[in-house]
Amino acid sequence: MLANYLIGLREGLEAALVVSILVAYLVKTDRRHLLPRIWIGVGIAVVVALGFGFALFYGPRSLTFEAQEAIGGTLSIVAVALVTWMIFWMARAARSLSGELRGQIDSAAEGSWWALVLVAVLAVGREGLETALFLWSATEAVSRHTDATWQPLLGAALGIATAVVLGYLLYRGAIRINLSTFFTWTGAFLILVAGGVLSYGVHDLQEAGVLPGLHHLAWDVSDTIDPTTWYATLLKGVFNFSPETTVLEATVWVLYVVPVMTLFLLGARRRRTPPRAAAPAAPTTVSH
């Protein structure tokens, strides 16, 4: 539930920031008459994300077990790829996001009426689709071990609700958040979460027969870690940890988490390091 709360909070805050920037810029430039286009775009993005999530949750249920596992594993890998791209993109774009969105607004306001709607749909819809796909992957993993599939959805809903409140307070100027620090910490945590989703996606493909090695275990600690205990549930819900992990699952987790985390932290450190002042030029000697 914690991981899904963080997913909802992070993705929701991204969407809330985008909306607050769009609305604030239109208000400050005396273009309030264009605000309904923003809200229409936001509404369309929410409906599309909900429809996509509904299709993910209920679409594959009529398929065979192998087909469900193959689809689930493939979509989990796609979700990890999208979330990984989002983590790196947001870490780089946090400082320049406002300027980019203002430029898009100016261009769209001069075009057709639907251009500004499209800006809002694309800006908000991306976060919505990523959230739906990632939550579906996390919920599918949890549903194999417990019937409480509502917990990931509740966690995400609470995260989104928190993000909406924070976005409103940011818009009103009531609070200030260091976005670079926020996205660095949440990004590092989500890399660990994504590693678990990727590992379980590989497990799904193994159960579907797409990948080999289903019975080649890297470890089996089910005698030590009872899957029914609260801490096992916590590890499963946050990191998708499985007491019975295949060699391929463990290998994929390491090959993903170690290089991605290293690149992410190095990039965060580089962005925090202020550029060095240029050394004064040496005096030029002119020969006579």
pLDDT tier for residue 40 given thresholds of 50, 70 and 90: very high
Quote the DSSP letter at residue 252: H
pLDDT digits (tens, 9 = 90+) for 168-199: 887 777 667 777 777 788 888 888 888 888 88
Whether pLDDT at 252 is above 90:
yes
Q: Give yes or no for a contact between 116 and 37, defined as CB atoms under 8 angstroms apart.
A: yes
Q: Give yes or no for a contact between 119 and 22, defined as CB atoms under 8 angstroms apart.
A: yes
Burial class for 144, CB neighbours closer than 10 Å (0-12, 13-18, 19+)? exposed
Q: What value does the mean pLDDT take over residues 146-172?
A: 77
pLDDT digits (tens, 9 = 90+) for 204-231: 899 888 998 888 888 888 778 776 676 6
Helix (H, G, I), strand (E, B) or coil at 209: coil
Q: What percent of the chain has pLDDT over 70?
A: 78
pLDDT value at position 61? 64
Closest CA relative to residue 80, chosen from 235, 197, 184, 183: 197
Whether pLDDT at 278 is above 60:
no
Closest CA relative to residue 14, chosen from 81, 80, 93, 107: 93
Question: Among 10-19, 161-170, 252-261, where is mean pLDDT lowest?
Answer: 10-19
pLDDT tier for residue 155 given thresholds of 50, 70 and 90: confident
User: Mean pLDDT score of the chain, rounded to an integer?
Assistant: 78
pTM summary value: 0.70
